[in-house]
Amino acid sequence: MSEVIASKLQEWRQKAADGTITLDEMREAIAAIRKERVNAQEKSTTSRTRKAKADASSGGTTSSKSAPIDSDSLLGELGL
């Protein structure tokens, strides 16, 4: 989140707590928060897409999950 938006949000929060925030300021705050969330979502999607393409081109898997643990072999190693 940009510093400008963060400072404005702090100001709006204080006004809301004091009961002095106007309807227009509330609308502006909601619009700013929504815009920041959309931007963050787009940035995250772009990052995931780039990572998936990089994994695919390097021969790796596109999943970041590790393989499941075989508990039978682990217990077998312990003699159980």
Question: What digits encode the pLDDT tens for the residues 16-66?
Answer: 999 999 999 999 999 988 888 887 788 788 777 777 777 777 665 555 677
Q: What share of the chain is helix, strand, coil (3-state, %, to 5)?
A: 75, 0, 25
What is the DSSP-derived secondary structure letter of residue 52? H
Higher pLDDT, 11 or 41: 11
pLDDT at 2: 77
Confidence of residue 80 (pLDDT cuts 50, 70, 90): low
pLDDT at 41: 80
